[in-house]
Structure 1
Amino acid sequence: MAEKMHPAWDEVVDDRDEEEGGIVIVEERDGPPRRRWVRYVMPVMVEADPDTDQITLVVTLPEEVRDDRDDMGNFCVYDETFVRRRMDYYPVDQPELHAWNVAQPRWSSRFRVGGPDNWPELSRWEEGFDLTEADDVYAEVNPYADPR
């Protein structure tokens, strides 16, 4: 079996063997993958007071959320370990495509107000991830990491 490697943070990975040109990074397991993360972009408005040079307010605009894509136009979908997966690789079982379809934001009105109806309420949204452990793993392959 090929040596397991960690991909770069923006590298799309599949589970193909090295003979097929892919990178093996996850252990095989029975059954379908458990979770997929679909990345979205949401504008944030920041109010600045020019007299005091202070930020006075930050407002998110969930009604303008849209799916995030890489520079090639591919959607950004990650597995449960935050490894980026391609959406077109699995011919039969497509967990990435399925997750992308499920996660699509939907509003009950044509006037988008607040968060999508099929997402948790805004008060339950988290502000960010603590990816300290992932940062340590990817520091080995990240060309922008601190070279300490």
Structure 2
Amino acid sequence: CSSYRIGSSTAIEILGGEADQVLHRDDTIYPMRIPGVELQIGVMWALDDFTIENGATRVVPGSQDLRDIEAISEADIIQAVMPKGSVLFYLGSTVHGGGANHTENPRRGLITTYSLGWLRSEENHFLTVPREVADSYPETVRRLMGYWP
């Protein structure tokens, strides 16, 4: 695909004492699978250190090829331990979820998903950024938001 757009932008905060998030995929908003084509990628910025103790994101490597995520065991899961400022890239079809936070402090991150340009974005940027504002942005940014010249 020659174009991509921002699908969603989300701030995540896992508070102290929270349990593991249910494992999931981010691309399930698109009710289709095309062999060999990834419809979406995710980018997660660590705003705090991601540690085992504070709930570093749990990821199942290779899970983009799994049909039945119920078959995943704890042995299949790794945690994305990374220092503040690091970035985790993952396929929208990768099974993942926030980890349990066993500390008293929140663990924060920012997630942006990017979808193939011919797909509708998860968030409607036309409602949050009026055309007259978007026109002041560089063309690359406008296109990422779904605005075309």
Asked if Structure 1 and Structure 2 have the same fold, meaning a TM-score greater than 0.5 normalized by the shorter chain, the answer is: no
Q: State TM-score, norm by structure 1.
A: 0.28
Q: State TM-score, norm by structure 2.
A: 0.28
User: Highest relative contact order (Cα 8 Å, sep 6+), 1 or 2?
Assistant: 2
Which protein is bigger by CA-based radius of gyration? 1
